[in-house]
Structure 1
Amino acid sequence: MAWGKKKGARKEPLFGLPAALADLRLTPADRVPGGDDKPKKSAKPSAKRKSEDAGTEPPRERKAPAGRSGAKRRAKSRGGFGLGRLVYWGAVLSLWGVIAVIGVVIYVGAHLPPIQSLEIPKRPPTIQIVGIDGSILAQRGEMAGANVALKDLPPYLPKAFIAIEDRRFYSHFGIDPVGILRALVTNLLHRGVSQGGSTLTQQLAKNLFLTQERTIRRKLQEVELAIWLERKHSKDEILELYLNRVYFGSGAYGVEAAAQKYFGKSAKAVTVAEAAMLAGLVKSPSRLAPNRNPEGAEARAQIVLAAMADAKFITDAQAKASIGHPSYNVKPAGAGTVNYVADWIGEVLDDLVGQIDESIKVETTIDPKLQSVAEAAIIDELAAKSVKFNVSQGALVAMTPDGAVRAMVGGRNYSDSQYNRAVTAKRQPGSSFKPFVYLTALEQGLTPDTMRQDAPIEVKGWRPENYTHEYFGAVTLTQALAMSLNTVAIRLGLEVGPKNVVRTAHRLGISSKLEPNASIALGTSEVSMVELVGAYAPFANGGLAVAPHVVTRIRTLGGKLLYMRQPEERNQVVDPRYVGMMNAMMRETLVSGTAKKAEIPGWPAAGKTGTSQDYRDAWFIGYTASLVTGVWLGNDDNSPTKKATGGGLPVEVWSRFMKTAHEGVPVAALPSAPGGWGLSNLAQAASQVSPPTPAAPPQPNAGGYRPPPPTRANVRPEAAAGLDGWLMDRLFGGNR
């Protein structure tokens, strides 16, 4: 059998397949060539072809171990994949970075005004306040200096700013990448912020359009606006804008304002040393302002000069000369009391012209010379006697009889306290309120020689006393007012009616609320100094009402008239007869009464002292036909003084001021009533009687004390005429 020919060999059935397909095994020649398996060219026929030609099967190739070749292929695959991934993700991140930058730009830009609507804003208005002689008293507003063209400035002035602030100003496009990198490195080395990278254009953008907050968003806004400014304006235009808008400390904006502030000259005339100082201020204007820190300003100026020499803007010789011989003429810090006037003007300005959108000049009634005299009188008096009398503050108001304020001092030092004690403060006027009581009595039929009783009095448990605790019995109204007898003032106030006294005071110009009670006669209701002085003015002008004022005209800097004070219709608020009587009575206060220390050689003057309870306030309001002046001294916390009285310190300040104010002014008499009471009438009436003597106090009855009817008491002629004598010293001694 066929099975026995080859024992153990098994042959599988082919199921009819051709013999050529029986062996399906692949040889290396059957593989599809790959990237690394390219067939090699050879002149010799392949082994397979040879074997096929020979009819024999070629020997099998020896395969490399699978593990080693697979690892090699995987390593190659990883290397190619890592590089590709790096390129891919780099491109993706770059794309997202660009998108993020665009998004930030859009976000920041969305919080800016539309570029097409951006304009260089107008300078905030300046308020220039000038005196009656046209001299500048004060300035208010952020931009105090006028615009100065770049071509009008000395060339080293703008170059000083470029040298220290932005050396590459003329080459960058609004931002300076080199400067930013330099500042970043410097700050990292110093572990803090010691240098900034802002260009002049960026600083201008911040000054024009942005706030001073230190945030990333504001910084990005600054960059965008700087680029916009560079596209919109030339370099010279940007530099000129910068110099006219930058802040130099002490309220000075722009080089012109700074030069006027610190050197008293125009920016067009500054020296190299002064230009260096101005450029140095920009870094820290408040800290380096030369009127506060001259040493710091000088040291910074030397750094600027070195930078200018390094940039070849000036020679080394010029730098050394400027450092060795600085020409600074720094003015002292502005603490003048005229600033109280400027603040008062600022309060009334809105009522006069409304909101202002351009710079203006305010012409005032202030006399700079009198203002200086008033300031010195207050400051010197307090410097000499504030400790002795425990008085810390003072105020003075001087006005013409028609209400034009010539001088105003609201405190001893404006830089220490801006509180205006002449306008804002309200204090008890004490006995300086008594003229309104006596005027009311005259208007009800009494006369200066009408007699009233000076004796103790009680009103509902209240027992007011005289300053000296003495009582003189029957006295004339003139004597009572001159001696400032409290009991007579109380009786007189009750007699004429407290409500009528309040009406009189309001009619003459007091605007504060007054309480119509028995103590109103002693000035217990608070008033301001400016209204009290204004209420005395009718005594000096013949009885006409006045409105205290300080502004006469307001113009734009271009000359356009915005406001002019119109002549007021002045009402007659006091009959001339009573004006003459009051002047005669208050004249006696200065001649032999509580203000006998007050004197203006050759000038008829009158007035009234005032001291509030516990010596908290000391007043004197005195006047001539030329000027009405009030002085107040006291403490802001209303604490008592050490017996400072109206006849003491206030009279001394008043006399010093009024003597100077009347130098060279033609002497004029105080108004007196035609055919009525004046000083001659008073002397004539007084010559008929002999001096009063202290009397025992009358006993009040059940219905309360009633003064005796008017009688002609004993008044000595020389007393009424104001002559010194033992009795007058006895009656009028001491200060009230």
Structure 2
Amino acid sequence: MIGKMAAVGNVLRLLAAFVVLAVVAGVLAAGLAIPAVGATGSTVKGGVSLFNELPGDLTQSPLNQQSRILDAKGGVIATPYSENRIIVPLKRIAPIMQKAQIAIEDSRFYEHGGVDVRGLSRALVSTVQGDKQGASTLTQQYVKMTLQENALQNDDQEAAQAAVARSGIEGISRKLQELKYAVKLEQTLTKDQILEGYLNLAYYGDLAYGVEAAAEHYFSTSAAKLNYNQAALLAGLVQQPGVTDPVHYPKAAQARRDVVLDRMAQLGVITAQQATAAKKVPVKSMLKVKPAQNTCQRSSEPYFCTYIIAWLQQQKVLGADPAERLKNLNTKGLTIQTTLDPSLSDYITKTLRKKVWAGDPSGVGAAATIIQPGTGKVLAMGQTSKFPVGNQKGKAYTQQNWNVDAKYGGSTYGFQIGSTAKMYILADALSNGIPVNGSVYAKAAGPSRPAYYSRSDNSDSCKDWQTWPVRNDSNWGGGPMSLWTATGASVNSAFASLTMKLGVCHVIDTMTKMGLHMGNGAALPKYPTMALGAGTISPMTVASGYATIASGGIYCQPTPVVSITDSTGKKLPLGANPCKRVLDKDVAAGVAQLLKAPLTMPGGTATGLGVPGRPSAGKTGTTDSHVQTWFAGITPQLATAVWVGTGIGTGNGVPSTPFSMAGKRIGGIYRGNVFGADIAAPLWQSIMTRASKGMPVEQFPKASSKVTNGDYVKIPYVVGMSTSAAKAAIEDAGFDAYNAGQSYSTYPAGTVAGTTPSGSALRGSSVGYYISTGYVPKPPKPPATQKTKKKPSSSSTSKKSEKPKKSKPKPKPTKTHHG
């Protein structure tokens, strides 16, 4: 202990000798190195040597500052940061703010050379006495704050504490180092540069770093627009920001502000009358606090905020891994320009909540995403839930974004998409030569009578399944059905037959190349149920798939960002969105044409629910037991998917396991069996009408005759064959074969007598084969000439009672087709 005290005394003597020498020589104001030659006394020489050996170049790490996430109109969505700081040049800080800070911290700032000898003497005495007061120059304070900031950025708590030590050996050592750095700094920077750095670095309390962030936080204004009373309040906070910030300590802040006002008046910065008037204004009345937007809880678009931050963590341009990317987002002052239209997103949310309330007692939720075809830009999104702020709880609240995949904050798996998946089957069918005007043989099926498909029905190698039962929402007796009718009425057995014809693997491959994947990121399993919408998918993914049709066959990954700019204004190389052609544009036009059927066909699943005055196309979707419902659709300029369903799992008493919506009161209205046309399609119509407002009316491209009418190809010669051989030959030629019934023919009974149609037919269409009866009935004899006969008398002749004979159905007369 005695040794330590002796060491302290020695250092104090060294410092005292150094100060005395500095005062005499004036070297602290004029230069950096002090020559020991000519200095008298070992103590003075030792002090000079000690000072000269200290480091002189102050290295400043780039300041942590907030980044900004902007919407498409330039509004701020969020400002992620680890320190709430916005760096601005001195010219963007009001002169009165500059003068107020100088007045209270270092009124002779523009007169000294970095070390004020009078102030240094006072600081020395305070340090020796263990007093925590300070009388450093503004330059020395800037040095101290820089050292502390550097230490904190390096996560060096010991160095951070040493940078602000006020007493003992550490305090003396720090003061010496500050002196050296301050003198050097004044040689390398101008006074204005030092003042600019100070005002951007200083902590102003309540998590506001730098004067710009403080002005925004406390007064909802910029540093450039501060008045003298606001400037005095902020300038006073720097000395003890932790106990004088006006939000939590308004009385202390007001007392400190008044001290600054008096000092400003004393120095002639303001008049005495101005100071008196300003003191009468309560600090509380001055405040217009702007809540921090560093977290998505406080964001203007919280669900989009969580999505975009997760998306940014996937971008390699921001760092080596997600953790580094997030750190850079929170510290580097980036500007992220997004694609989001905030007014459209707000409209979506309000519209959805009119039909499905936030926290609806039924446990049903709804969400919608709008994608721009050809670019993949995410234009808007919304959902019925509310984003919790603080400890808000209840059925209405969840942080889960139902619109996106799990890796972006979405539901764990997504939601089954039902018959919206039929769009992908149509794309595959038209890509393989089946025309818009073509047909498919739909097996008989109804709500209680399924049609069964087996592995042998499937045309490709995807056979890792046994039997596929398929039901229709209404009864269908079986037979050929046009694609137009099958699409408009959403006939499951027709699309199941089409899937078997195309091949399960083939259909799912087309789905995959059009961007369809499970909500957890996994690839679609290659089961036939995927073709009819058993896959659990996010609304954004469905919307981007439909956007592929609107864009003429070009798939673009959904993207929420236009550009990322660093703090110097340089754009980071994000690269172009990976768009690629996945469908022929003629095929896409044909699919769009068929997707008009649900909206325009009499008896269509969503007849009359298109966008008024605009061409529109889309598809309803309803899963088994009415668990999930959808409408996904397009105009030439927009693609939107609307989901209404269950299994949202908010964690607040709402089930995460999907359940039937049938018989529930949703949005206050009792619903029986809920279909895609009941809630989702009307919501889609409202959203798309609003989103299309002001856009020019454009038409979908017209499909070519080849895609519309298909290729007519020759039907193979099957007359005289067995039914199994004829069926195989017809199917090998690319047609759907079906039994068209019996026909009078002299060919052996049970063999094929002909086909319908005859000659040629559309590639991929249905061709029926007639089975021969084995005979042709003789033509009836012509009626004989009638002679007049005498009617028998009623008494001599009696009628016999005859039972009507049961007639067998006659085979259809059919022309035999040869070739």
Question: If the TM-score is normalised by the length of the shorter chain, which range does it land in?
Answer: 0.5 to 0.7
Q: Give me the identity figure in percent.
A: 22
CA contact (8 A) 1:597 1:651 kept: no
2:227 aligns with: 271
Alignment of 1:559-708 (within 5 A): 559-563=569-573, 565-566=575-576, 570-571=580-581, 573-591=582-600, 593-596=604-607, 598-612=609-623, 617-633=628-644, 634-637=646-649, 638-640=656-658, 643=661, 646-675=676-705
Distance 1:287 1:162, change over 3 A: same
Distance, in Å, in 1 between the alignment partners of 2:106 and 2:630 is 56
Secondary structure in 2 matching 1:321? coil
2:363 aligns with: 390
Distance 1:463 1:668, change over 3 A: same
> Does the alignment pair 1:441 with 2:352?
no
2:210 aligns with: 254
Distance, in Å, in 1 between the alignment partners of 2:124 and 2:471 is 81
Match of 2:549 among 539, 543, 566: 539
2:504 aligns with: 498
Deviations 1:207-227 (A, max 9, x none): 342269897774234336576
Counterpart code for 1:422: V
Moved more, 621-630 or 429-438: 429-438
CA contact (8 A) 1:600 1:659 kept: yes
Distance 1:159 1:621, change over 3 A: same
Counterpart code for 2:177: W
Distance, in Å, in 1 between the alignment partners of 2:688 and 2:152 is 51
Deviations 1:25-45 (A, max 9, x none): xxxxxxxxxxxxxxxxxxxxx
1:57 aligns with: none
| Alpha-carbon offset, residue 389 of structure 1 | 3.8
Distance 1:214 1:554, change over 3 A: closer
1:430 aligns with: 417
Distance 1:351 1:301, change over 3 A: same
Distance, in Å, in 2 between the alignment partners of 1:358 and 1:342 is 17
Secondary structure in 2 matching 1:222? coil
Secondary structure in 1 matching 2:556? coil
2:152 aligns with: 210
TM-score by length of 2: 0.57
Counterpart code for 1:305: R
Distance, in Å, in 1 between the alignment partners of 2:128 and 2:534 is 68
| Alpha-carbon offset, residue 640 of structure 1 | 2.6
Unaligned runs of 5+ in 2: 14-53, 110-114, 134-139, 166-172, 266-273, 390-397, 454-465, 650-655, 662-673, 711-734, 741-755, 758-819
Moved more, 423-432 or 175-184: 175-184
Distance 1:280 1:491, change over 3 A: farther
| Alpha-carbon offset, residue 148 of structure 1 | 3.5
CA contact (8 A) 1:618 1:632 kept: yes
Distance 1:309 1:503, change over 3 A: same
Moved more, 304-313 or 118-127: 304-313
CA contact (8 A) 1:123 1:143 kept: no
Distance, in Å, in 1 between the alignment partners of 2:12 and 2:71 is 57
2:809 aligns with: none
Distance 1:605 1:243, change over 3 A: same
Deviations 1:583-617 (A, max 9, x none): 22221223354444743210111122334456554
CA contact (8 A) 1:620 1:647 kept: yes
> Does the alignment pair 1:220 with 2:231?
no
Distance, in Å, in 2 between the alignment partners of 1:441 and 1:259 is 62
More strand by share: 2
2:201 aligns with: 245
> Does the alignment pair 1:95 with 2:95?
no
Counterpart code for 1:588: A
CA contact (8 A) 1:247 1:282 kept: yes
| Alpha-carbon offset, residue 540 of structure 1 | 0.7
Alignment of 1:258-657 (within 5 A): 258-260=214-216, 263-272=219-228, 274-275=230-231, 296=248, 301-309=253-261, 315-323=275-283, 325-326=285-286, 328=288, 330=290, 334-337=298-301, 338-340=304-306, 342-344=308-310, 346-351=312-317, 359-378=333-352, 384=357, 386-392=359-365, 394-409=367-382, 412-413=385-386, 416=389, 419-420=400-401, 421-423=403-405, 424=408, 425=410, 426-431=413-418, 432-448=420-436, 450=439, 451-455=441-445, 456-458=450-452, 460=466, 463-466=469-472, 468=473, 471=476, 473-474=478-479, 475-510=481-516, 512-556=522-566, 558-563=568-573, 565-566=575-576, 570-571=580-581, 573-591=582-600, 593-596=604-607, 598-612=609-623, 617-633=628-644, 634-637=646-649, 638-640=656-658, 643=661, 646-657=676-687
Distance 1:621 1:260, change over 3 A: farther
Deviations 1:427-465 (A, max 9, x none): 134222221123323334444551413501346466454
| Alpha-carbon offset, residue 230 of structure 1 | 5.0
Distance 1:373 1:143, change over 3 A: same
Alignment of 1:724-735 (within 5 A): none
TM-score by length of 1: 0.63
CA contact (8 A) 1:482 1:589 kept: yes
CA contact (8 A) 2:103 2:263 kept: no
Counterpart code for 1:452: A
Secondary structure in 2 matching 1:209? helix
Counterpart code for 2:199: L
Distance, in Å, in 1 between the alignment partners of 2:236 and 2:345 is 35
| Alpha-carbon offset, residue 396 of structure 1 | 2.0
Deviations 1:105-143 (A, max 9, x none): xxxxxxxxx945641111246644445555555444556
* Count of residues in Structure 1 that have an aligned counterpart in Structure 2: 569
Unaligned runs of 5+ in 1: 1-88, 103-113, 186-197, 683-705, 714-736
Secondary structure in 1 matching 2:313? helix
Distance 1:204 1:363, change over 3 A: same
Counterpart code for 1:241: G
More helix by share: 1
Distance, in Å, in 1 between the alignment partners of 2:240 and 2:701 is 59
Distance, in Å, in 2 between the alignment partners of 1:305 and 1:611 is 65
Moved more, 560-569 or 621-630: 560-569
CA contact (8 A) 2:78 2:299 kept: no
Distance, in Å, in 2 between the alignment partners of 1:266 and 1:243 is 13
Counterpart code for 2:96: P
1:120 aligns with: 60
Counterpart code for 2:513: R
Distance 1:199 1:152, change over 3 A: closer
Distance, in Å, in 1 between the alignment partners of 2:311 and 2:228 is 38
| Alpha-carbon offset, residue 627 of structure 1 | 0.8
Counterpart code for 1:404: K
Distance, in Å, in 2 between the alignment partners of 1:285 and 1:652 is 55
Distance, in Å, in 1 between the alignment partners of 2:125 and 2:542 is 66
Distance, in Å, in 2 between the alignment partners of 1:316 and 1:676 is 87
| Alpha-carbon offset, residue 657 of structure 1 | 2.6
1:54 aligns with: none
| Alpha-carbon offset, residue 378 of structure 1 | 4.9
Distance 1:492 1:258, change over 3 A: farther
CA contact (8 A) 1:280 1:300 kept: no
| Alpha-carbon offset, residue 413 of structure 1 | 4.7
Distance, in Å, in 2 between the alignment partners of 1:180 and 1:395 is 68
Distance 1:375 1:122, change over 3 A: farther
Distance 1:117 1:486, change over 3 A: farther
Secondary structure in 2 matching 1:155? helix
CA contact (8 A) 2:346 2:382 kept: no
| Alpha-carbon offset, residue 631 of structure 1 | 2.9
